[in-house]
Structure 1
Amino acid sequence: MLTQKYINSLAYKIVGCAIEVHKNLGPGLLESVYELCLIDELKNNGLKVESQIYLPVIYKGEKIGHDLKLDLLVEDLIIVENKSVEVMLPLFSAQLLTYLKLTNKPKGLLINFNCENITKQVVSLVTKAFADLPLE
């Protein structure tokens, strides 16, 4: 049975993998480099990862010409958006929240690798889908 505790433990594992990548590479590289290394680290930790997933935009019941692109989807539950920026903008969280709502996934992680301490640069967001799950 899917629970909040399970999803949170999965998110904890993802953040641990991001910390490992950051510890080995440090700040200042391109987002794509961190993403490839994070995918490798997640897979080495036994997690199922899909990358660069296209999400169709449906407007008033019709698909419009542009797709959104999710960076990573882990275990078909958690969307991970990777950044390598000097400043985390509120727009990044808004974007992730929109992806979560459109996909009905319970949790998302926004991770900025361009920093000294990655744990201070992780934003965790949850949706109603998460809130509706049992705690344990």
Structure 2
Amino acid sequence: MELDEITGIVIDESIRIHKELGPGLMESVYEVVLARALERRGLRVQRQKTVEFEYDGMLFQEGLRIDLLVEDCVVVELKSVEKLAPVHAKQTLTYIRLMNLQVGLLINFGGATLKEGLKRIVNQLSPQQSSVLRVNREGRS
């Protein structure tokens, strides 16, 4: 399955869940519901995946925790806040860089609609790989 297909399924299910449940629930509720919806669509999903990384000769065995890792290639960072802050996109970019992945989705279930709360974060994608994006893009900073 290609990245666009995986992220498309995640976005579709996120929109459906937001329409049905609405904003205001705890992030953990959206995490469980979205993970189950993605699994029902045939995707492999890991919740609260601990990721280790090395920096300056130090090993951090529990340096970060990913809300959802889909098909071992897409990080999904979930929020349930009134409005996303710039640091949220930077956090997602840091996660995909440290994991050496190409795509992360930042999804905020806290807004009135999901449209303004969806961001696709990319790390070193070639123009051909990122040409059919369905949500706004955030590149390397």
Give the TM-score taking structure 1 as reference length. 0.88
Gaps of 5+ in 1: none
- Residue 124 of structure 1 aligns with an amino acid whose one-letter code is R
- Residue 92 of structure 2 aligns with an amino acid whose one-letter code is L
1:36 matches 2:32: yes
Offset, 1:58: 1.6
**CA 1:101 to 1:133, structure 2 compared with 1: closer, same or farther past 3 Å?**
farther
Whole-angstrom distance in 1 between the partners of 2:128 and 2:101: 12
Give a deviation string over 1:12-64, Cα, whole Å, max 9, x none.
11100111111111001000000000011101111110110111242212214
Q: For 2:111, what is the secondary structure of its paired residue? A: coil
- Residue 77 of structure 2 aligns with an amino acid whose one-letter code is E
**CA 1:12 to 1:64, structure 2 compared with 1: closer, same or farther past 3 Å?**
closer
Aligned residues: percent identity?
Answer: 37
Offset, 1:120: 2.2
What does residue 23 of structure 2 align with? 27
Alignment of 1:104-123 (within 5 A): 104-123=100-119
What does residue 81 of structure 1 align with? 77
Q: 1:131 aligns with which of 115, 123, 126?
A: 126
Bigger fraction of residues in helix: 1
Q: For 1:13, what is the secondary structure of its paired residue? A: helix
Segment of structure 1 superposing worse, 9-18 or 60-69: 60-69
Higher relative contact order structure (alpha carbons within 8 Å, sequence separation ≥ 6): 1
Count of residue pairs brought into register by the alignment: 131
Asked if structure 1 preserves the Cα contact closer than 8 Å seen for 2:77 and 2:105, the reply is yes
Offset, 1:8: 1.4
Which segments of structure 1 move beyond 4 Å, counting only runs of 4 or more? 132-136
Q: For 2:81, what is the secondary structure of its paired residue? A: coil
Give the TM-score taking structure 2 as reference length. 0.85
Whole-angstrom distance in 2 between the partners of 1:9 and 1:43: 14
**CA 1:134 to 1:119, structure 2 compared with 1: closer, same or farther past 3 Å?**
closer
Offset, 1:11: 0.7
What does residue 55 of structure 2 align with? 59
Gaps of 5+ in 2: 132-141
- Residue 54 of structure 1 aligns with an amino acid whose one-letter code is T
